[in-house]
Amino acid sequence: MKKILYFSASWCQPCKNFKPIMESLSNEMSIQFVDVDASPQLVAEYGVRNVPTIVVVNNGQVSSKQTGVLTESQVRNLWNQN
């Protein structure tokens, strides 16, 4: 099963700008929203150092990791290539 982990923080302005894109894509992709302050174990497990970060996980394996604000088409491309 494929999913995206979307790591963000409430204090992060770029995260606030990127969240609506991720919310709209959540209708067609499996996206788990992760608050880095509330989930330090997941942050450590996936080696997240900056937010926003998206991690594409396919069958339990990280297939892609991208930091920064992306366009909707960039997120789709990451999803489709993995």
Residue carrying structure tokens 């892609």 = 64
Return the percent helix, strand and coil in the chain, to nearest 5. Answer: 35, 30, 35
Known active-site residue 15 = yes
Peptide bond into 40 cis (omega under 30): no
The single residue of 12, 25, 42, 70 carrying the catalytic annotation is 12
Known active-site residue 12 = yes
The single residue of 15, 54, 56, 57 carrying the catalytic annotation is 15
Write out the catalytic residue numbers.
12, 15
